[in-house]
Structure 1
Amino acid sequence: MAQLKDSVIIQPKSRIKAGEGLNKGEYKFFTSSNTQSKWLNQYQYDKPALIFGTGGMASVHFCDTPFSTSTDCIVMYAKGNLNLEYVYRYLESHMYILENGFKGVGLKHISKEYILSISIPEVDSYQQESLISSARKIDEIICARQNQLTKVDELVKSMFIQMFGDPKSNPNSYDIIPFNDCVEYMGDIGSNGANKVVVEHLDMKDEEDYALMVRFLNFTKNDFIDDVKYVSKEAYDFFKKSQIFGGELIICKIGSAGQNYVMPYLNRPVSLGLNQIMVRINSKTIMPYLYQYLNTDYGKQLIESCINGAVTKSITKTELKKIPVIVPPTELQEQFVTFVKQTDKAKLVIQQSLEKLETLKKSLMQKYFG
């Protein structure tokens, strides 16, 4: 085993804020997110590198083309003959090593010193290249499946516009109401009491227990089985104002503020974790319609206007309640929901294929790293 500090060179820190990323651009732009989805038209780094996110959740990337990063990233070049992609493959399959380095209350962070102290197994170059080649082939197929999912999502967005028109102009002159008028209940873990009381009752653990405590990481990774946390029945019962049962809208409060998902039905007790808002809606809107509305370009603009903070972005329940929501006739919403359900069936088949590929990839990593 060799420590990273002996084999890498830390690069100067970026001063670019995460919010400056573009939806399209010439060069990849990495933030503290575990997915790379933003771009810039200029680059800061031009050598193969490891990129570590330092705030929020554990993330590591490898890039061998010119790229840029936000200020909440650490970039490392190789010293000598170290194969950085091999290091990336090891850490990608052992994310708990990075996760264990995140410390602090609220938005946790990982230190440069912790990352540099990580030990990497030493194997010969032939084994490294064999691992990398196999992993790349699986990643290519995974990428193809993910592109299929993206196309299905684009089809849903297209149908939304076709049925309801561009929400920014509201060409059908549908009623507009504040988001709060769609809400039956809105809460978060803080709804159960003051911060001190919440901390005293929060016994989140890795070992299987009575209830799952869902984190926003579970939504971004679509993983409610492997990388999960649990709480006791006592904690679940105490946090009764943030129990979730499936079908709620879950909104990130801090970091990726405003990003939102619909809670799946897990058929087990589930409690809402930190830094999230949960929303149950009344009969004025139907969740698939409301979710799609909030994730149109216009909906995202409305949410963005509610976000505060330059470095650490955040959104509050008070601001969310003010968002204007277009409300088409219920019958039309129901027609859209029927279409969404059909596309969900297609997505399920693709996702099942993805799960098999991820299992294959894990088996490959197990073979090489034990």
Structure 2
Amino acid sequence: MAKLGEICAFQSGGTPSKNKPEYFGGEIPWISTTALNGGKINEADAVAWITPKAIRESAAKIVPANSIMIGTRVGIGKVAINTVEMSTSQDVISLINIDEDKWYKPYLCKLLLSKKDYFNSQARGATIKGIKIDVVANIDVPEIDYTTQRKVAATLNKIDTLIFLRKQQLAKLDELVKARFVEMFGDISNSRKVPMQDVCKIITDGTHQPPKFVLSGIPFLFVSNIVTNEIHYDAEKFISEETYNELIKRTPIEVGDVLLSTVGSYGHPAVVKENKPFCFQRHIAYLKPNNSVVNSEYLRCAILSTDLQRQIDESVKGIAQKTLNLSEIRKLRLPLPSLSLQNQFAAFVERIDQQKQTVQQSLEKLELMKKALMQEYFG
């Protein structure tokens, strides 16, 4: 077993002063951690172009082609191999002088990617956390023959490709739902619209006072638990059954109700699809649809429509932290087609959700397989 610091040298990067225009507009591609994609990068990935003068007079340096780059701040653990000479910010460390007869660089990239959780655990800093070169240098590198290194990298690449394809499938299925919504309801966007308060029995939000949390129990959800049409119950905070019974009086959650994020990443709706107890913070709005006039799935997709999202963007308040207030939610106006048409759309969404579930299960199996192989190959 070798240490990474024993098989390469490390070169730090730097950012030329923005106050010196003569440092920019040159022919040297310069990148930050945003360019590190896990594979290969070139001049097309540059976020700026700098001059030889910037190299001579600032901390920026030329990184030789075919070096391994790793993010050490603002993107810790991201990696890439540059196929052309370039320069990097101080948030990127480049691994150079690697013996290419002994070490297969894509294999070393996979090794570094497998240590991302470890790198994050070692990050230090008050405002922006980062890792030191020593943390990277002390990584153990299994000393296996070059042919085996290539096989390991190829196997992991195949799994990464399959994972990417599964994620693409999920995205395309979501797009199919959006297209179906426009196909069925797009022509009624200029028809009579009703305010949100007319189609919901309750419009309120979660608890305003932080409850007493316990080590385990009923999940207490935050905005991060709400994504488009998905509620993640893997909470970090829990409440007791007694607290739950008190809070649920205000938000009597049932299957078919809609949650809507209102702060930060505002405007994301999700339908409650599982009959399980939970409560949530005040930055999540609670909408109980009147099922005699509106279908939950129609309501969710209506909120995601271009028209409703425009209304939401125009309604949010605040500068540092934009917030969608309950009063504004109640005033949002949406078309209200016949309930039978809404139900047809909901049936279509249900069929798509079944397909998504199959793809999601395949994705999860692939991610578990990748994790197991990473552990087997790299420990």
Q: Normalising TM by the smaller chain, what interval?
A: 0.5 to 0.7
Q: Does 1:176 align with 2:184?
A: no
Mapped to 2, the partners of 1:244 and 1:117 lie a distance apart of: 51
Mapped to 2, the partners of 1:59 and 1:279 lie a distance apart of: 39
Which of 90, 114, 118 is the aligned partner of 1:89? 114
Which of 262, 266, 273 is the aligned partner of 1:257? 266
- Once the two structures are superposed, residues 171-195 of structure 1 have per-residue CA deviations (whole angstroms, 9 ceiling, x without a partner) of 5x2x311222222223333x354xx
Mapped to 1, the partners of 2:186 and 2:70 lie a distance apart of: 44
In 2 relative to 1, CA 154–185 (structure 1 residues): closer, same or farther, beyond 3 Å?
Answer: same
TM-score calculated relative to the size of structure 2:
0.65
Which of 134, 141, 147 is the aligned partner of 1:123? 141
What is the identity, as a one-letter code, of the residue corresponding to 1:268?
K
What is the identity, as a one-letter code, of the residue corresponding to 1:271?
C
1:276 is matched with 284
Mapped to 1, the partners of 2:288 and 2:122 lie a distance apart of: 34
Contact 2:289–2:296, Cα closer than 8 Å, also in 1: yes
Which of 216, 219, 224 is the aligned partner of 1:212? 219
Q: Does 1:228 align with 2:246?
A: no
Percent of matched pairs sharing the same residue:
23
Mapped to 2, the partners of 1:303 and 1:321 lie a distance apart of: 11
2:23 is matched with none
Q: Does 1:141 align with 2:159?
A: no
What is the identity, as a one-letter code, of the residue corresponding to 2:158?
K
Q: How many residues align?
A: 314
- Once the two structures are superposed, residues 28-55 of structure 1 have per-residue CA deviations (whole angstroms, 9 ceiling, x without a partner) of 9999xxxxxxxxx99526887556897x
The alignment partner of 2:259 has SS state of strand
What is the identity, as a one-letter code, of the residue corresponding to 1:362?
K
Contact 1:243–1:271, Cα closer than 8 Å, also in 2: no
Contact 1:187–1:278, Cα closer than 8 Å, also in 2: yes
In 2 relative to 1, CA 245–53 (structure 1 residues): closer, same or farther, beyond 3 Å?
Answer: farther
RMSD, aligned α-carbons:
4.5
- Once the two structures are superposed, residues 233-287 of structure 1 have per-residue CA deviations (whole angstroms, 9 ceiling, x without a partner) of 244334333564443322223332222322331x432222464323222233211
In 2 relative to 1, CA 269–110 (structure 1 residues): closer, same or farther, beyond 3 Å?
Answer: farther
In 2 relative to 1, CA 7–86 (structure 1 residues): closer, same or farther, beyond 3 Å?
Answer: farther
1:315 is matched with 324
1:219 Cα deviation from its structure 2 partner: 4.2
The alignment partner of 2:331 has SS state of coil
2:180 is matched with 159
1:348 Cα deviation from its structure 2 partner: 1.9
Q: Does 1:305 align with 2:314?
A: yes
Contact 2:196–2:334, Cα closer than 8 Å, also in 1: yes
Mapped to 1, the partners of 2:287 and 2:76 lie a distance apart of: 28
Mapped to 2, the partners of 1:181 and 1:275 lie a distance apart of: 22
Contact 2:227–2:269, Cα closer than 8 Å, also in 1: no
In 2 relative to 1, CA 276–51 (structure 1 residues): closer, same or farther, beyond 3 Å?
Answer: farther
Mapped to 1, the partners of 2:132 and 2:236 lie a distance apart of: 23
2:366 is matched with 357
- Once the two structures are superposed, residues 79-104 of structure 1 have per-residue CA deviations (whole angstroms, 9 ceiling, x without a partner) of 5469566433322xx38x7489799x
2:47 is matched with 44
Mapped to 2, the partners of 1:220 and 1:100 lie a distance apart of: 29
The alignment partner of 1:279 has SS state of strand
What is the identity, as a one-letter code, of the residue corresponding to 1:89?
S
What is the identity, as a one-letter code, of the residue corresponding to 2:289?
I
Mapped to 1, the partners of 2:305 and 2:176 lie a distance apart of: 13
In 2 relative to 1, CA 364–42 (structure 1 residues): closer, same or farther, beyond 3 Å?
Answer: closer
Contact 1:249–1:280, Cα closer than 8 Å, also in 2: yes
1:325 Cα deviation from its structure 2 partner: 1.1
What is the identity, as a one-letter code, of the residue corresponding to 1:297?
T
In 2 relative to 1, CA 112–288 (structure 1 residues): closer, same or farther, beyond 3 Å?
Answer: same
**Contiguous gaps of at least 5 residues in structure 2:** 19-30, 35-43, 50-62, 84-89, 99-104
Mapped to 2, the partners of 1:116 and 1:212 lie a distance apart of: 39
Q: Does 1:324 align with 2:333?
A: yes
Mapped to 1, the partners of 2:187 and 2:297 lie a distance apart of: 17
1:289 Cα deviation from its structure 2 partner: 0.6
2:204 is matched with 187
Q: Mark the structure with the bigger radius of gyration.
A: 2
1:202 Cα deviation from its structure 2 partner: 3.6
- Once the two structures are superposed, residues 100-141 of structure 1 have per-residue CA deviations (whole angstroms, 9 ceiling, x without a partner) of 9799xxxxx963257889677321475886665433321211
